[in-house]
Chain A
């Protein structure tokens, strides 16, 4: 039998296949998909990629500039970096630690470091480590902060926290949005009016002042995890309105479609029509809306934490890292602290492009 031609393949393809084909044509969205997946992989293996304990402070390594790794030593592949030495400042008599270029410390792959738990397995394996490191020596790929904590390691862990907060938050918003949007569309009448006016009211509130107020009221003695969930809920409480509108709009337009009427005439019950016939056709729209809602969530958390009213140290998130870079004095002294902005911008851009691509592909028959 001959291979089916393109048009034949198109005719028998399922909706998801069509969506995927159309999505694949959107180059920028494909690249973004890869970026997003990489970021989530990085989030999963954050501890493995970290080079030192992100919570460990060391006065000696305060504000060390990003430390390059030299790949070749005497022509052979043998990555090394420099050790640390203390120099007494002649004016202030303060001990200042700088890189000691006379002492090479070799980099080791799959080294042993601080202990952490990976998917329930206790381990101390890290991608990079130092062989025969002296006290204070370390690989500071992105430099260190005021308390001498390694920015690279902190950034890895922060990525995990900030990305998962977005996911959890979006799940809550999605639940509220689908529930209220669906109810609004199915029941109509005064229920619809109340929910729609409610959405308008929520959307016309200035969100940040309200978030700030609610976040500031969280008890000081709550644990990091409790604060994490509270902040997630606060953020998602005001973000569900867009999703609700998408769901309601799609629901109303699909209800008029012939295939829904056909199902009705064939005697299908309401639940079956909704879940078996209608849901698959607007699931792709919901996915697109979700991928556009995620970056907004991430920005919200970052902003709140940046202002000191979101997650609180010792938790680490992008916002908390950026908080260290808040004033110009610090930035002039340690400009590398601003590097934390790079993953924020990358992820938000990637999610936006991804969402755009998904939205275009969501309706493959259009």
Chain B
């Protein structure tokens, strides 16, 4: 069991390293070194950088030296929490990102909970009442969830809520709350705005999980031990919940490891459509403006978040499925 945790942890570390390399590559990709771009940007906005300052920056990031040295310098600063400066905002990257990274995490996590909360009971229902009206209805809903990309769903919902109720559904806060400091009232405001985007984000994953859960449980329900349990006079709820559901949960749980990256990815896109204050819109703006430190940092943070989420879901999987717990010893 400990070996399993350690192996997962090492794999997670390796993934983080790969993501950091990818982020660094993204920072490096635009032509010319980024100090040139930085100087040009500052000069254009009327605050020229002196040659000594430019030299200092170049030295700081080891420009002109081999790539791995540059990467080393960058990553050692990142580890201490110094992500560089955003060229567009002219402030430290951490300050620009601020709360947004936590709101992204909150949104993705809420979507994850909704996915679980919906897929599990619906999956069980669909399997137990196979070919019932409800089963067909959920299957149809599931296909819609898969076929409509979530940004499109966000667009369509936005259009109809505007058309029918005259309300703008975007944002995570009401307009008067946006600039207020954190308080209970603001948290409550967030809680009221969160469900809609979270549901939109969760729908595609939910649809997939329902299908997996339904198929798995149907396989289990056909097995002889279920017949035995029923023959022994167990109540129907107990027959279903005690063993078949638990056995069917395994692939369900192992899918969560891939669900979280999927949700984090999706949050970027629907945030742009719905105008949510997450890192999504910031990332796209930074990429379009070639504000590379900001963009690279966001990619890195999202990546790390995903890996941590995946690791946690692995631990959950281990807790749910005794087969994994015991095999690994």
Interface set of A (CB-CB < 8 Å, partner B):
197, 200-201, 203-210, 212-214, 216-217, 219, 295, 299, 302-303, 306-309, 322, 325-326, 328, 331-332, 335, 338, 341, 344-345, 348-349, 352-353
Contacts and interface: CB of A to CB of B under 8 A. Distances in A.
B18 interface: yes
A345 B147 contact: yes
Nearest to B148: A345
Contact of A208 (B14, B152, B265): B265
Interface residues of B, number: 52
A296 to B, nearest CB: 10
Contacts of B257: 204
B299 A213 contact: yes
Contacts of B30: 217
B265 A207 contact: yes
Interface string B136-160: 0000000100111101100110110
B307 A331 contact: no
A308 to B, nearest CB: 7
A219 B290 CA distance: 11
A308 B261 contact: no
- Label chain B's interface by main secondary structure: helix
21 contacts: A201-B11, A204-B258, A204-B306, A205-B15, A205-B261, A209-B265, A212-B268, A213-B26, A213-B287, A213-B295, A216-B26, A216-B290, A295-B147, A322-B152, A338-B156, A345-B147, A345-B148, A348-B149, A349-B146, A352-B146, A353-B143
B295 A204 contact: no
B201 interface: no
Contacts of A204: 12, 15, 257-258, 261, 306-307, 310
A205 B18 CA distance: 9
Contacts of B283: 209, 212
Contact of B11 (A197, A208, A325, A353): A197
A345 B288 contact: no
Interface string B235-273: 000000000000000000000011001001110110011
Contacts of B272: 307
Given A206-B303, A328-B158, A344 B15 contact: no
B40 to A, nearest CB: 15
Interface string B295-329: 11011001101110010000000000000000000
Contacts of A200: 11
A303 B151 contact: yes
B131 interface: no
